[in-house]
Structure formats: structure tokens, C-alpha cells
Amino acid sequence: MSARGEHLHYVDLIRVLTVGLVIGTHVLALAPVPPTALDGALGMVFHVSREVFFLLTAFVLTYSTGRKRVRWPRFWRRRYLFVVVPYVVWTVLYFLADGGPFLGENLVHQLLTGTARYHLYFLLVSMQIYLVFPLIRALLRATERWHGALLAGAAVFQLTFTYAVQQQWDLGPLTGWVRTPDALLPSYLGYVLAGSIAAWHRDALVAWTRRHTRAVFAGCAAMITLSVAVYLVHVYALGQPPLQASVVFQPVVAAESVAIAWAFLAAGLRWQESGRFGEKLVTATSDASFGIYLLHPLVLQGALLGATSIGLVGFAQTVPNAVVLGVLVVVALPLLYLVSGVVTAAARRTPASLALTGRARTRASRPAPAPELALVNSGGAR
């Protein structure tokens, strides 16, 4: 792993692409049409954003800390400041937006579980990653000669766990974890270890990806095809409803997520080395990505209310579902992304920037480090 300090332009593009998947996931989840086989097939691609962001979180954290001595109290202070504050603020905002006080909802419960909105679990998991990251880095150092074995173990664990969730295994005292895995770090441990190992060997990974870009893209296409094929088998051969067949916790999605993340890396490297077309827009969107992630469900909620009031939701029931889904992906998704980005950019110029976007005010002389989602800090996906 090379010394920290170099700006990884390709990571900016990866963030932008992955945020698009996050928004697409939520647009499809709230589509004003009954879930169909096509809806689920699209979901099999879009909801890998969750896993890609955990890979990216670990990659950026490992790269940014390098192999030098880290003052962990300072690390925790900075990281938690820019995640905990917006987490609390947005939990309250979504609690109010959903009429929590009038429906008897428990704000304290939502704060503790990340359930005020479907994407806030990601921030809870990010906090857990920050907490144990010193242990992860120590593990990387201690096993440096055996990272291949560690990566294989991480893959076996993640595939086994996702299968356990998919099949709803009864694991005794661990059954609760299998039934409600979203907000717990161990559910994504394989991705965190894989992302950290990738950053530790960044130079070798980047060099190999540059030499084999076409193979990476072909492998990604093959994995997407396999993922959709497995989904269709579950729907048409096993009789599962589309939503159940396209759940995020299943082995084929785990493999597909790695393939798509690798393809994003290849695309980012190619973009970086071919002149970085549209760099200002990509950089600005990457910088705003955490705010976009936090905000976009509220924009989507407002868009649905507006569409309902003018009759668009009712009209959607009268046209083929494929047309509705096409409009949502081609028109609604980019528009939602744009509006969320513009609002985030405006918020970044106000004293409320930290609370609303997880970033320091734009005019600050020393901007805060972007949370790895922005990462998004990804999902998240649903």
C-alpha cells in the first residue's frame, strides 16, 4: 500500500455511481405499481449498493490511515462528529416527517435501531466500523503474509451468512441476528475485511485492474447475468414473490456486489486516465454524496406526495408496469439525484452543514474528511 496523501480520483467516480444505485434502489422500492418480475430483476442490480459501500468504506479508511501510527482518540473524535450529529438530526427529521409524534412511535427506539428511515442503519454500522477499526488494522498487520487466506475466509463467512439469512436458519442464540441483520457490523464483516485487504494491496490491485479491464467488465456482466438468472429461477421455478426472491442477503448478490465494485474501480481508473471528463461535476457530487444519501428519501417522499396530488400515481396504474419502471429509472432517478444534490450543495453553505450533510461548511478553510459513505459515508441500500 502506497503512502497516504494521494487523492484517489477514481474513488470519486465510484461514490457517484454507487449513490446512483442507492437512489435507484429506493425509487424501485417505492414504485407506485405492484412488484413484478422486472422490478425484482432491476432490484438485483441496484441493491448491491449496500455491499459496495461497505467495501468502499473499509477501502477508504484503510487507505486514509496508511500504515503509520494513528492517534485513535483523535480518529474517533473526528469520525464520530461527522456521523453521529447528522444521524441524530436526520432521525428526528424523519421521525417528524412520518408523523411519529401523532402515531405513537418511539423516537428513542428509532435512534437506537436506525429505523426512522430505511437507510439510516448504514450510519449505525459505520459507527461500529469506526469503533473496531484499530482491531481490523492490527489484524491486517498480523496476517500480512496470509492475506489470501484471510480473504478466502472472509468470502466463506459472507457467503455462508447470507445463505443463512436467505434460508432463515435457526441458530439458537444467534437467530435474532440472522432474522434482523441490517444494522449489525458482523453481517457485513466479509465486505469490510475484503475492502481493507484491497486497500492494503492497492498498488497491486490497481495495476492488475488496469491490465485486465476488459476481463473485469466481462466478469461483472457475467455475474449480473447469473444473479438475474438465479432470481428468475426463484420466481418462476420455486414460486417466490419478486420481493422475496430479490432480497439483498443471498450468496449470489454477495458475489455480484464484488464484481460490480471491481467494475466500478475499472471504470474509475479508465476515467481518471482518460482526462477525467466532467471532473468538477464528479468531484462536487462525490463531495456531496453523504448529504445526498441522507436527504434523498425525504425528497422522494415529497415527490410521491406531489405525484399523488396531481394524479400521476393513479395514472401509473393504467399503463404497463414496464413503462412505469422505465420512466422511474430513466427520468425519476436522475431528477431525484439532481434535486438532492442541489439541496445538499445549498445546505453546505449554511451553519447547518454539519448537521444536515455530515460535512463542514463549504467556506471552511480546512474541510472535514468525507465520511466513507460519501461514501455515501452505502444502500445504503434497502
> Is the pLDDT score of 375 beyond 60?
no
pLDDT, tens digit (0-9, with 9 covering 90-100), for 31-42:
888 888 999 999
Residue with the three cell numbers 425509487: 27
State the pLDDT confidence band at 382, using cuts at 50, 70 and 90: very low
| Residue 379: predicted pLDDT | 36
CA 369-373-379 angle, to 5 degrees, is 170
Residue with the three cell numbers 439532481: 338
% of the chain exceeding 90 in pLDDT = 82
> Is the pLDDT score of 223 beyond 60?
yes
For residue 320 the three cell numbers come to: 404497463
| Residue 355: predicted pLDDT | 94
Domain boundaries, the chain: 9-357
pLDDT average, residue stretch 324-336: 95
pLDDT, tens digit (0-9, with 9 covering 90-100), for 339-352:
999 999 999 999 99
State the pLDDT confidence band at 4, using cuts at 50, 70 and 90: low
The pTM of this model reads 0.91
| Residue 96: predicted pLDDT | 92
Q: Work out the widest C-alpha separation in the chain, in whole angstroms.
A: 62
Interacting residues of 9 by C-beta distance below 8 A, sequence separation 6+? 268, 271, 272, 276, 279
| Residue 7: predicted pLDDT | 86
| Residue 366: predicted pLDDT | 47
For residue 325 the three cell numbers come to: 419502471
> Is the pLDDT score of 49 beyond 80?
yes
The DSSP code for 331 is I
% of the chain exceeding 70 in pLDDT = 93
| Residue 362: predicted pLDDT | 79
Q: What mean pLDDT is reported for the chain?
A: 91
Interacting residues of 347 by C-beta distance below 8 A, sequence separation 6+? 291, 295, 353, 356, 357
pLDDT, tens digit (0-9, with 9 covering 90-100), for 276-322:
899 999 999 999 999 999 999 999 999 999 999 999 988 988 899 99
How far are the Cα atoms of 15, 210, 215, 275, 306 from residue 271, in angstroms, in the given order? 13, 11, 17, 7, 37
Do 141 and 198 touch, CB atoms closer than 8 A? Answer: no
Closest CA to 257 of 290, 227, 293: 227
